[in-house]
Amino acid sequence: MVEQTSSSKAQPAKPELVITRIFSAPRELLWQSWTDPKQIVKWWGPKNFTAPVAKIDLRVGGKYLYCMRSPEGQDYWSTGTYSEIVPPARLVCTDSFADADGHVVPASYYGLGDDFPLEMQVTITFEDVDGKTKMTLKHVGLPESMSDMAGTGWNESFDKLAESLK
Amino acid sequence: MSLPAISKHLKVLERAGLIARGREAQWRPSRLEAGRLKEVADWLEHYRRFWDESFDRLDAHLRELQAKQKQTQRKQTREKKHGRTNKQF
């Protein structure tokens, strides 16, 4: 019993990243920056990157698909599904690497480490602080989807095995 | 820290794959799985940089957006004033 409690509390397999920033803008503008594709392309991606494509289907269960381009011209696509949309306060979605068609791919597709979770969850909250906005981003890895995929792989293998034994 | 408490902590670390534990008689030698720790740090570090730099750009975008809004407002106010002045004549 004690063991179970400590393992669920510690959750070491779900490391998370929390970033907080204050922006000198009302939160309605922050909300638009996150949910309007025309605005996403203005800021999505690290320094010197551009974002040539942003598509957003803003509804629960709807998806987004973004492309960012490195200074060397390498494109990185990412996609996710919205699970909570509360304007202008809270936005929750999954986040995964994707190909240009929006299919989820592992980070290794882009030459990044195998340790990247296949699916992550991003929660963004916007709080009004005297006309400014305190934005908090929580980025959590969802490693269980990795095991889900591994499970699918096994099921497919077993299907094939069953087929070959017929 | 009590011995049972240490043992509990080690169990959590082992389950997370952060340490590997052997068994020698009554001893449980523990070894740090540094590779696993580094893996976790790698993807977190990747995203920290991604978000930090994106948010720098978001900050710049919001400033530009608001500067443009102010400019438009000022223009509109000026046009309104002119409109009123013209009517007087």
- Dist CA A141 CA A162 (whole Å): 34
> To the nearest whole number, what is the mean pLDDT of chain A?
85
| Bridge partners, A141 (sequence order) | A120
- Dist CA B80 CA B84 (whole Å): 6
Contacts of A137 in chain B (CB under 8 A): 51
Contacts of A7 in chain B (CB under 8 A): 12, 15
**Does residue B45 or residue A121 have the better pLDDT?**
A121
Say yes or no: B18 contacts chain A, CB-CB below 8 A: yes
Q: Which CATH architecture has domain A16-165?
A: 2-Layer Sandwich (3.30)
B15·A113 Cβ contact <8 A? no
**Does residue B86 or residue A146 have the better pLDDT?**
B86
Contacts 24+ apart (CB under 8 A), A73-82: A74/A110, A75/A100, A76/A110, A77/A53, A77/A102, A79/A104, A80/A122, A82/A57, A82/A58
**Does residue A26 or residue B10 have the better pLDDT?**
A26
Angstroms from A60 CA to nearest CA on chain B: 23
Task: Output the pTM of the full model.
Answer: 0.70
Weakly modelled stretches of chain A, pLDDT under 70: 1-14, 143-166
pLDDT band at B21 (very low <50, low <70, confident <90, very high): confident
Total Cβ atoms within 10 A of residue B66: 14
Residues B47-72: pLDDT tens digits?
999 999 999 999 999 999 999 999 99
Nearest C-alpha in B relative to A11: B16
